[in-house]
């Protein structure tokens, strides 16, 4: 059953919670296929906290936006990072760069709510295409197809000397993404 969440723009005080969710999300989604040399530093909460603190200090509000989902005031349950630029030369106006939900809160509709909020935020700023990439072996990537994403590219990327297959999903506009989300909610209910 979906839980009630509040979506809001991130604030500096969210950095540790975002970092902890990112580390836990990498563990949950990538431990089954990612080489340990890549995974280990990225699931280390201390390292992630330092990375996210530095990122928040240099956050470029001209092209990027980060929304967080609160399950209760101050309790961050997930986040979505949106970038208003193309990815992989696909001709998109924007891409969803990061979408992570606290693994303890999987299956409660938080990811869908965050994607809907990202679509709404983008719809107010562009009518161009939206893309998102996911590792091909990510056990949760079918979520993007359920939200109407069409696979437009499959390619192998070099990640610190390791070859990893990536899948790129496409929506023709933020409005199309939002409509697909609404449709998936009505058929799931």
| DSSP character at residue 149 | P
Indicate the burial class of 53 (C-beta count within 10 angstroms; 0-12, 13-18, 19 or more).
middle
- The answer to whether 119 and 94 have CB atoms below 8 angstroms apart is no
User: Which residues in the chain come in under a pLDDT of 70?
Assistant: 1-3, 188-189
Please tell me the distance from the alpha carbon of residue 26 to that of residue 16, in angstroms, as a whole number: 15
In this prediction the pTM is 0.93
pLDDT tens-digit map of 161-185 = 899 999 999 999 999 999 999 998 8
Nearest residue to 82 (alpha-carbon basis) of 101, 100, 63: 63
So what's the pLDDT on residue 5?
A: 87
**What is the C-alpha to C-alpha distance for residues 171 and 129, in angstroms, rounded to an integer?**
6
- Domains observed in the chain: 6-188 (3.40.630.30)
């Amino acid at each position: 059953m979906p839980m009630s969440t509040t979506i809001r723009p991130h604030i500096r005080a969210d950095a540790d919670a975002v970092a902890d969710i990112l580390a836990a999300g990498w563990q949950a989604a990538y431990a089954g296929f990612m080489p340990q040399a890549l995974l280990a530093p990225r699931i280390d909460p201390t390292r992630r906290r330092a990375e996210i603190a530095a990122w928040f200090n240099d956050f470029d509000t001209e092209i990027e936006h980060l929304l967080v989902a609160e399950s209760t005031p101050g309790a961050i349950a997930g986040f979505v990072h949106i970038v208003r630029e193309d990815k992989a030369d696909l001709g998109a106006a924007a891409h969803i760069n990061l979408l992570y939900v606290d693994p303890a809160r999987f299956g409660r509709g938080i990811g869908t709510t965050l994607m809907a909020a990202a679509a709404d935020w983008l719809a107010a700023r562009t009518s161009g295409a939206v893309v998102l990439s996911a590792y091909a072996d990510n056990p949760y990537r079918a979520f993007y197809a359920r939200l109407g994403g069409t696979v437009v590219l499959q390619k192998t990327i070099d990640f610190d000397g390791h070859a990893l297959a990536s899948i790129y999903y496409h929506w023709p506009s933020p409005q199309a993404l939002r409509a697909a989300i609404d449709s998936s909610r009505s058929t799931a209910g």
